[in-house]
Amino acid sequence: MTEATDTHPPKKTDAPRAARFKAALRGAVESLLRWVLPRTVIGDRIYNYVDFIIKQRRLPRRRMLFNDYLLRMEVSGEMLSLPRQLVSDKELCKAYVDYKIGPGRTIPTIKVIRSADEVTEDAFPDSCVIKGTHLNGMVIIRRKGEPLPLDEIRAFLDSSLYRRTREQNYKYLEPKIIVEPIVFGGDMMEMKVHCYRGQVRVFSVHPSGTNAGTLERFDRSWTRMPLKQRKPFPPISTPRPPCLDAFIEAAEQLSSDFEYIRVDAYVSGDEWLIGELTNCHMNIGWRPADMEQERLFSRELFGSDAS
């Protein structure tokens, strides 16, 4: 319980159990909706609205708040546009990046696998990254020739992110597996850049050498934003990367065809590579600590369009 009026908070030992129960209940509701609702535009819209309420624990609003904006974009039919679908495919996205800003700015592709028969132990280098071009978050990193979960990798080809999330931009993508090198020796900053109307507005940064839960957010001038988060900020703010001006120019070229998109990159010193372009941040799964936090983020992202 998080309300300020709570006078009898649950014991700490109860918190993990309650969290597991809520997660299980949410999963059961979403599974039921996926089974009951038809895979049509109307069915997807109903799922998206209910999913928003479950994740955000509130009803959507017509205001220019970040998550509400994403929901409107998701149910508008925009996600089925060809550019949105193209950049959702991790292989085709590289061709888009090459077209917009020139070659050499994406992670090299070692190979693309299109059938389960091609998934064998000797099909992969000793060190590589393996993921579905049509999926999100399902990644296997191999180091020093360690054994691979081949059945899990083959299962990528049978998985559908659309069926799991009803994100329509993934609905018609061809199932493929892409194999890439581990760039910068794995020592790099992960930078997710929110762009609106062709301008870089907010940086979400996972600093090099930190765990995945460590996050800093910066405005365009690289001033750290005071957004609350579960894990504490690093004691010293991550310094502005020396390549930032060049990267901003590239990100704005990449975002120019979209009202909103997130440009994801890996940065090491004065070097950077585009990882992918993301249409819908966390599938509307980021829930700020309170509404003022979301307003702060939204004002920075939308500028004069914010409400």
3-state helix vs strand vs coil in the chain, percent to 5: 40, 20, 40
The reply to whether 155 falls in a domain is yes
CA distances from 213 to 129, 184, 206, 229 (A): 20, 20, 8, 9
pLDDT value at residue 20:
86
- Which positions ≥6 away from 116 have C-beta within 8 Å? 154, 157
- Which positions ≥6 away from 129 have C-beta within 8 Å? 107, 139, 140, 141, 142, 179, 180, 181, 182
* Spans of the chain, pLDDT less than 50: 1-12
Question: Whole-model pTM?
Answer: 0.90
In the listed set 143, 161, 180, which residue is the last one of a domain according to the structure? 180
- Do residues 200 and 165 both lie within one domain? no
Sheet with 189-196, side-by-side order of all strands:
216-219, 199-206, 189-196, 260-268, 271-278
pLDDT value at residue 17:
86
Crossing angle of helices 41-56 and 66-75, rounded to 10°: 170
pLDDT value at residue 5:
33
The reply to whether 71 falls in a domain is no
Euclidean distance between CA atoms 83 and 20, whole angstroms: 38
pLDDT value at residue 2:
34
- Do residues 84 and 200 both lie within one domain? yes
In the listed set 126, 150, 180, which residue is the last one of a domain according to the structure? 180
The reply to whether 7 falls in a domain is no
The reply to whether 253 falls in a domain is yes
The reply to whether 104 falls in a domain is no
The reply to whether 47 falls in a domain is yes
pLDDT value at residue 234:
77
- Do residues 175 and 281 both lie within one domain? no
Query: For residues 85 and 93, is the Cβ–Cβ distance under 8 A?
Result: no
The reply to whether 95 falls in a domain is no
- Do residues 252 and 301 both lie within one domain? yes
DSSP string, 73-115: HHHTTGGGSHHHHHHHSTTHHHHHHHHHH-SSSBPPP-EEE-S
pLDDT value at residue 191:
96
Domain of 287, CATH number, reads 3.30.470
- Do residues 204 and 246 both lie within one domain? yes
- Do residues 195 and 259 both lie within one domain? yes
Instruction: Please state whether 200 falls in left (phi above 0), alpha (psi between -120 and 50) or beta.
Output: beta
- Do residues 48 and 119 both lie within one domain? no
- Do residues 43 and 142 both lie within one domain? no
Residue 190's domain comprises: 80-88+185-305
- Do residues 199 and 295 both lie within one domain? yes
- Do residues 143 and 198 both lie within one domain? no
- Do residues 20 and 84 both lie within one domain? no
Cα three-residue angle 289-4-233, rounded to 5 degrees: 35
pLDDT value at residue 214:
74
- Do residues 191 and 301 both lie within one domain? yes
pLDDT value at residue 212:
59
pLDDT value at residue 220:
95
Question: In 3-state terms, what secondary structure has residue 264?
Answer: strand
In the listed set 165, 180, 195, which residue is the last one of a domain according to the structure? 180
Which is nearest to 199 in space by CA: 246, 254, 239?
Answer: 254
The reply to whether 229 falls in a domain is yes
CA distances from 185 to 181, 189, 208, 214, 306 (A): 9, 12, 12, 20, 40
- How does DSSP classify residue 224? B
Phi and psi at residue 154, to the nearest 5°? -60, -35
pLDDT value at residue 236:
85
**How many domains would you assign to the chain?**
3
pLDDT value at residue 11:
46
pLDDT value at residue 27:
84
Query: For residues 106 and 97, is the Cβ–Cβ distance under 8 A?
Result: yes
